[in-house]
Amino acid sequence: MQCPKCGTENPDDAQLCHSCSFTLASSDKRQSKHNYKKLLQVFFAPTALFCILALFLKPVPAFFAALFAFCFAIAAIPEIIRINNKKKKIRIINVIVIMVILIPGPLFAVIFTFLSIDAAPIPNDYTIKDLKSAAPQYNQTFVLLNNLSDKKSHNSGYAIGFSTKDIVMNDEIHNIFKQNDLQNISQQLQENEKDILLLWEKAQKGRDIFTKLDSFPEIADLTKPEMKIDIYYLANIGHLVFLYQSYICLQSCKGNHQIAINELIRLDSIIKKMNVNAHSIIIKLLCIACFAVDIQTTNFIINNHETPQESLLALKQRITPLSNEHTSLRNSLMFEYLILKNATINASNKTVRRNPYFSPLKLNSSLRLYRNIIDKWIADEENRIPPKEMRVWPAFYPNLLVKTDNQGKFPWYYKVYNPSGILLVGIFRPALERIFVIKKKLQIHSDMLQIVLNKRLGEEVSLKALAYSDEYIVDIEKRLIFSPGPDGDIGTKDDIKLPINLELLDWKN
């Protein structure tokens, strides 16, 4: 050991310099310094190095770097404890180093990087090609649909020949059908005959497009799966369907039964062609709403005592019950999944650009979670066993169950792992769940219409219900056939009903 005062070399165990008698450092202190130097070189340096690496690596290698840092930190603890220092202050500092600096840093790095690892990408995921679509030669029908709108005009009805006042008048006439008394509806339609015929003439442009669309065996939907869907023609389809309903029912009242049947068959044909290939859930909902108007119109003609037998037989032949193909939501469910997929990819790219080393949104895990939901819904739609659920966790994570509870909430541990993904799925899921109820109501409406038509033709009918009750109910007093809605209670707002002409149908109970 070298004397710090005179520089003379002394034995390592010397306590005094043999040259100048300067008191040298004790062996305990020297050993303590040696131990701290060893700690710094063997444990602290690698711990710090791996922690720093964890900040700049991708999630998987960052996790293992953080894990190595944590292991070195744990290994340093017994070495710190073994350092022989009798001073209480030094012992307290050692405890602080362990509890505040050495362990929390690497432990946080392990947890942080562990939670940043995403699941694997979905193999052979859905694409736009998986959707049912019209043959390419009918793509021009999508152009025709878009001709029903004028993006440059502030008036949505301009493309079909309507002014703003015409739209208001058309809607007011449509409100006539909200009542359940068929006789009152007939009377009010005839009172508004001039307005209905005037609107019919003004909508010539729109009706011509409808006629062209009906000449094709299929109607294409080329809508792309994007968050913002510009479907300007939807409003005008609604205006035209309302007008067709008023015009057809008016012609039925005036005894022009062949005109009424021809226009009704054309309207029904167009709606069914649009519906089969519909991509967006918005277009699907429009088709469902148009089907409801179609059913209402057909029911009016059936209950008109002047409608001849041949017209009723034409209705039975051409206005067929809605098939599984017409009510299927497969296209729309897959399309909405593709929208979420594109939205999630865009959101993920933005977060990665901001922080390439950690993203709160797990792209692949989010898509796997939503895909599992969609696949189950599609399987339920088609009455088949759903495919095996895809794993929503990284490969070396425990495969914890991720199911919603009775309130539709996901487990807390998945919320911690993928909070942004839960938020995205939570936005899309409730809107899609509601369409199943709307679809079921439409099926019941269609089923009741067939019962009324068969009854009008003098055939035996069964009131056995599709859902919500064992049988449909014929209310003699209110002159309705109806089904309690999803709530199962009679006389509530969600009842599904059709007005009927009791004298004509001769329902005794």
**Model confidence over 154-211: pLDDT tens digits?**
567 888 989 989 999 999 999 999 988 899 999 999 999 999 999 999 999 999 999 9
Q: Residue 29 above 50 pLDDT? A: no
CA separation for the pair 263, 269 (Å, rounded): 10
Handedness of CA 283, 288, 289, 293 (dihedral sign): positive
Question: How far, in Å, CA of 463 to CA of 478, rounded?
Answer: 17
pTM: 0.79
| Higher pLDDT pick, 212 / 226 | 212
Report helix, strand or coil for 297. helix
Q: How many residues does the chain have?
A: 509
- Most confident range (mean pLDDT) of 95-99, 329-333, 420-424 is 329-333
Q: What pLDDT is recorded for position 108?
A: 65
Assign 487 a pLDDT band (cuts: 50, 70, 90).
confident
Nearest to 134 by CA among 125, 143, 126: 143
- Chain centroid to CA 361: 17
Tell me which residue of 167, 221, 173 sits closest to 193, measured CA to CA.
173
Vertex 444: Cα angle to 441 and 271 (nearest 5): 75
Residue 226: its pLDDT value, please?
82
Q: Over the range 383-399, which residues count as b (16 or more CB within 10 Å of their CB) and which as e? A: eeeeeebbebbbeeeee
User: Which is nearest to 487 in space by CA: 435, 437, 431?
Assistant: 437
Residue 64's φ and ψ, nearest 5 degrees, are: -70, -35
The whole-number pLDDT of residue 244 equals: 96
Phi, psi of 10 (to 5 degrees): -130, 160
The predicted-structure confidence for 429-483, as pLDDT tens digits, reads as follows 777 788 888 999 999 999 999 999 999 998 888 999 999 999 999 988 888 999 9
Which 3 state secondary structure label does DSSP give 16?
A: strand
Share of the chain above pLDDT 90, in %: 40
Q: How far is CA 427 from CA 25, 250, 392, in A?
A: 70, 43, 19
CB 391 within 8 A of CB 119: yes
Owner of token pair 């050692």: 94
User: Which pLDDT band holds residue 427 (cuts at 50, 70, 90)?
Assistant: confident
Dig out the tokens for 130 from the structure.
Answer: 């998986």
Is pLDDT above 90 for 7?
Answer: no
Residue-wise pLDDT tens digits, 49-107: 556 555 555 666 666 666 666 676 666 666 666 655 555 455 555 555 555 556 666 66
DSSP characters for 199-214?
HHHHTHHHHHHHHHHH
SS3 content of the chain, % helix, strand, coil (to 5): 60, 5, 35
Please determine, for residue 354, whether its predicted confidence score (pLDDT) is greater than 80: no
- Residues 6 or more apart in contact with residue 216 via CB below 8 angstroms: 138, 141, 273
Backbone angles phi, psi at 280, to 5 degrees: -70, 145
Mean per-residue pLDDT over the chain, rounded: 82
Cα–Cα distance measured from residue 168 to residue 178, given in angstroms and rounded to the nearest whole number: 16
Give the C-alpha distances (Å, rounded to integers) separating 377 from 189, 225, 339. Answer: 42, 19, 17
Residue 481 identity: I
- The predicted structure's pLDDT at residue 403: 83
The pLDDT of residue 507 is 72
Identify which of 112, 105, 115, 113 has the alpha carbon closest to the alpha carbon of residue 47: 105
Residue 31: predicted pLDDT: 47
Query: d(Cα 10, Cα 7) in Å, to the nearest integer?
Result: 9
Q: What is the pLDDT of residue 28?
A: 46
Q: Which residues pair with 474 in a beta bridge?
A: 481
- More confident of the two residues 184 and 42: 184
H-only helix segments in 363-472: 363-381, 412-417, 419-456
Element (DSSP H or E) covering residue 416: helix 412-417
Let me know: does 20 contact 5? Beta carbons within 8 Å.
yes
Q: Which residues pair with 500 in a beta bridge?
A: none
With a cut of 70, say whether residue 284 has pLDDT above it. yes
Residue 403, judged by CB atoms within 10 A of its CB (0-12, 13-18, 19+), counts as exposed
CB atoms within 10 A of CB 508: 6
Contact 283, 234 (CB under 8 A): yes
Which letter does DSSP use for residue 497 in this model? Answer: E
Question: For residue 415, what are the contacts with CB-CB under 8 A and spacing of at least 6?
Answer: 422
- Across 11-25, 223-237, 360-374, 454-468, least confident range: 11-25
Q: Report the distance separating Cα 166 and Cα 152, nearest Å.
A: 19
Q: What confidence tens digit (pLDDT) does each residue in 226-274 have?
A: 877 777 788 899 999 999 999 999 999 999 999 999 999 999 999 999 9
Q: Which residues contact 30 (CB under 8 A, 6 or more apart)?
A: 1, 12
